[in-house]
Amino acid sequence: MIALFYVASAVALVATAMVVTRPNAVHALMYLVVSFLAVALDFWVLGAPFIAALEVILYAGAILVLFIFVVMLVDEGPAGVAREKRRMTPGGWVGPSVLALVLLAEVGWIVFQGDATMTAAKVVAPKTVAIALYGPYLIGVEVGSYLLLAGLVGAWHLARGKRAARE
């Protein structure tokens, strides 16, 4: 359905515009979650259900959790609490909630139609993707695993801190 694509795209654009304009990091992160979820819905409509699931798990899940950890770590004591109180005003959470409800309504509509073949494009099945990934692109998977290992070692080294390094 093409209307699903347009609504999800509008939500993605609004949420992304809010991310780059919010002064408050936590507000921006809430909009960023909504933006990734909207793009995931776009992936589904475009016939990529596997990538849509990965988008929710990896981007809206894992990467956003990392960001939230860092926001919590760099927040400072009493000033942070005072800011937290101001954060709980409706201005902070109404916008992301409304946008998320729009996405929820879309997903609910898809589910209650009971037709999983409602994607606007021809579905490229996960099996086809997996055969391509572990066939002609196997070397890319190996390079990707090296990159993730390098990222792991790099993050461990950088986050260890000076005191631990001296010991």
Partner 1 sequence: MTQIPFEQGLMLAGLLFALGLLGVMVRRNLLFILMSVEIMLNASALAFVVAGARWGQPEGQVMVLFIMATAAAEASVGLALILQVHRLLHTLDADEANRLRG
Q: Note the residues at the interface with partner 1 (CB under 8 A).
A: 1-2, 5, 9, 12-13, 16-17, 19-20, 25, 28-29, 32, 35-36, 39, 42-43, 45-48, 50-51, 54-55, 58-59, 62-63, 66-67, 69-71, 73-74, 117, 119-122, 124, 128-129, 131-133, 137, 140, 144, 147-148, 150-152, 154-159, 161-162
Nearer to partner 1 among residue 68 and residue 107 (C-beta): 68
Written as six digits, the tokens of 72 are 């919590």
Of residues 91 and 128, the one with the C-beta less far from partner 1: 128
Q: How far is the CB of 4 from partner 1 (least distance, A)?
A: 10
In the bound complex, what is the minimum distance in angstroms from residue 25's beta carbon to partner 1?
Answer: 5
Contact status, residue 121 vs residue 56, Cβ threshold 8 Å: no
Query: Which distant-in-sequence residues (6+ apart) come within 8 Å of 16 by Cβ?
Result: 31, 35
Q: Provide the minimum distance between the beta carbon of 110 and partner 1 in the complex, in angstroms, as a whole number.
A: 14
Phi, psi angle pair for 50, to nearest 5° = -65, -45
Based on CB atoms, which residue is closest to partner 1, 54 or 107? 54
Asked if 71 and 29 touch (Cβ cutoff 8 Å), the reply is yes
Closest Cα partner for 119 from 45, 51, 53?
A: 45
Whole-number minimum distance, CB 62 to partner 1, in Å?
Answer: 7
What does the angle CA 148 – CA 150 – CA 155 come to, to the nearest 5 degrees? 95
**Residue that the structure tokens 């699931």 belong to:** 53
Q: How near is the Cβ of 108 to partner 1 at its closest, in Å?
A: 21
Nearer residue to partner 1 within complex by CB, 58 or 98: 58
Q: Which is nearer to partner 1, 112 or 156 (CB)?
A: 156
| 20 three-class SS | helix
For residue 52, what are the contacts with CB-CB under 8 A and spacing of at least 6? 40, 41, 43, 44
